[in-house]
Amino acid sequence: MKEAIVIGRPNVGKTLLTINLAEFLGQRRVEVMFRPRDGAAYTRIYSIAQARADLVAETPHRTRCLQSLVLSVPRGKGVRKVVVTDTTGLCDEIHPSSAVRRAMADTIRSVARAVIILHVVDPLQPLSGVDLDILRFGQTQEGYALVANMMDLPGRAERLPELVRAARPAPVLAVSALKRTGLGEVRAFLRRHL
């Protein structure tokens, strides 16, 4: 199965996007596979509401290990399955916690093997540091898209043209994970690369 990864800085909405995308694709429950570094992988089944309540947080670094779920993307007459992996947020500085560093290393490892990369940003923060490095990596890859999240919040729409320019030739998908707008474009992007 191909793997799509959702990466970006902490707290930009990667997890909420992943869960709401599952819901958008018609899932009422999700089976999440957690892959912690210091133990065996395990899975849990959540209703969409439970998943949001448990896995999304206002504070950064809620997601501490790779969390994968399988989504079915309609394509032509059938469906294509894809493993969507939500990851630990990346930051510029060397993180003091070795657990977080390992989780970040796993995120980067997943970058190296994923076919599809959804790079989530909050457009209000100018692209810099690690975001630029992800973007530059992505620009060398087929299945990379810059996902401008939080479009429901003020100030974001104005920044969009700048992002589009910076991302070229990669596409920019403008979404609100919270209000579930723009998810059709994400689906179309997945479809193109599956």
Ligand X SMILES: Nc1nc2c(ncn2[C@@H]2O[C@H](COP(=O)(O)OP(=O)(O)OP(=O)(O)O)[C@@H](O)[C@H]2O)c(=O)[nH]1
Give contact residues for ligand X (rule: CB under 6 A). Answer: 10-16, 56-58, 60-63, 89, 149-150, 152-153, 176-178
Burial bucket for residue 100 (CB in 10 Å: 0-12, 13-18, 19+): middle
State which of residues 15, 27, 107, 110 lies at the interface with Mg ion (CB under 5 A).
Answer: 15
Q: Does 149 bind Mg ion (CB under 5 A)?
A: no
Residue 72 interacts, among ligand X, Mg ion, another protein, none and using kind-specific CB cut-offs from 5 to 8 Å, with another protein
Q: Are 68 and 85 in contact (CB under 8 A)?
A: yes
Residue placing its CB nearer to Mg ion in the complex, 80 or 95: 95
Rounded Cα distance, 47 and 31, in Å:
9
Q: Does 68 bind Mg ion (CB under 5 A)?
A: no
Rg (CA), the chain: 15
CB atoms within 10 A of CB 28: 9
Q: Does 20 bind Mg ion (CB under 5 A)?
A: no
Residue 123 interacts, among another protein, Mg ion, ligand X, none and using kind-specific CB cut-offs from 5 to 8 Å, with none
Residue placing its CB nearer to ligand X in the complex, 16 or 172: 16
Residue type, position 47, single letter = S
